[in-house]
């Protein structure tokens, strides 16, 4: 055992080994992950505070964005544990390991569910604009978000029930935090949290993109506009098309960050957990939660205005919740 670094040196026979990454790489990765965690938590807290505080932002679309911001904020907190176990060791006991794994699965499945809700919202807004106000109400949006989180919680506790019942059952050594859901569980998880939702998102947004293009062409043709108006089908507002474009960017970034994580984990879970490239793939997956608020800041004037009010503490003034954020 000479020369081998253990997670718990006092437990020579049962302790796991530390990762063999170079100290410089581990330090660099720790700094990167710490920065991502801080930005993720702080930026998404701004999203949560803005949507909750300002009454003008209490819309069905923003309710879904609020739920997405909450799940992204939790991702930032979970990322702190990734920093603490950068050497490949888990120091917090079996119970917290099981709790961490369950919370991680809840957050991931809820994030994917929120993206599906965003796609459905934009699909109805663009493809059926006349009925959008009646089909997508604030109450229905709140109910959909609640069902998304409830399903994520039930799904995660069911698929990891054996790990919760016996937290140390699948730990090969002291300092290891791993779960085993079996081949059936892996296939179910693959379909429910990746293949089916991603397929739905892609189909809905391709449809939205095609319909939005047709409406943009219609807007540039006077004859087509008159024909379109006389048809009685209606067309979405420019603001709806702009929102669809913005949320399309969010979903595209989400897919780019999510797909490498699932592909690598399917090819080799050991490569995901025990290699430096695997750690970078996990970092990319977590980094997506930090990007969403930056996309809002880039495309949404209301978010920039709300940040200015929050940062300058004008939010503490009476009546600040009635501020007009949507005016040009």
| Contact yes or no for 83/36 (Cβ under 8 A) | no
Domain ranges of the chain: 23-322
Length, in residues, of the chain: 328
Class of domain 23-322: mainly alpha
For every residue of 290-315, DSSP letters joined together read HHHHHHHHHH-HHHHHHHHHHHTTGG
Task: In whole angstroms, give the CA distance from residue 175 to residue 18.
Answer: 9
Q: Whole-model pTM above 0.95? A: no
Note the pLDDT tens digit of each residue in 8-22: 777 777 788 877 667
Note the pLDDT tens digit of each residue in 266-307: 665 554 555 556 667 777 777 888 888 888 877 888 888 999
pLDDT given at position 91: 85
């Amino acid at each position: 055992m000479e020369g081998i670094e253990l997670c718990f040196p006092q437990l020579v026979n049962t302790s796991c080994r530390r990762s063999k990454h170079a100290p410089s790489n581990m330090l660099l990765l720790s700094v990167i992950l710490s920065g991502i965690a801080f930005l993720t938590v702080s930026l998404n807290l701004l999203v949560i505070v803005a949507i909750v505080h300002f009454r003008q932002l209490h819309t069905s679309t923003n309710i879904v964005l609020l739920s997405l911001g909450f799940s992204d904020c939790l991702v930032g907190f979970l990322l702190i544990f990734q920093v603490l176990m950068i050497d490949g060791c888990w120091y917090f006991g079996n119970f917290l390991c099981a709790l961490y794994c369950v919370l991680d699965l809840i957050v991931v499945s809820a994030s994917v569910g929120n993206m599906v809700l965003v796609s459905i919202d934009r699909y109805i807004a663009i493809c059926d604009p006349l009925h959008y106000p009646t089909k997508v109400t604030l109450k229905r949006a709140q109910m959909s978000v609640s069902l998304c989180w409830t399903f994520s919680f039930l799904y995660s506790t069911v698929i990891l029930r054996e790990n919760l019942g016996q937290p140390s059952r699948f730990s090969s050594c002291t300092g290891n935090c791993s779960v085993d859901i079996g081949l059936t569980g892996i296939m179910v998880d693959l379909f429910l949290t990746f293949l089916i939702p991603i397929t739905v998102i892609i189909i809905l947004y391709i449809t939205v993109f095609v319909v939005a293009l047709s409406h943009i062409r219609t807007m540039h043709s006077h004859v087509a506009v008159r024909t379109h108006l006389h048809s009685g089908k209606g067309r979405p507002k420019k603001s709806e098309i702009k929102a669809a474009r913005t949320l399309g960017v969010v979903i595209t970034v989400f897919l780019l960050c999510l797909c490498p994580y699932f592909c690598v984990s399917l090819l080799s879970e050991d490569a995901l957990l025990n290699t430096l490239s695997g750690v970078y793939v996990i970092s990319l997956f977590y980094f997506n939660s930090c990007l969403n608020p930056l996309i809002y800041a880039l495309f949404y004037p209301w978010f920039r205005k709300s940040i200015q009010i929050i940062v300058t503490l004008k939010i503490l003034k009476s009546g600040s919740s009635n501020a007009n954020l949507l005016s040009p």
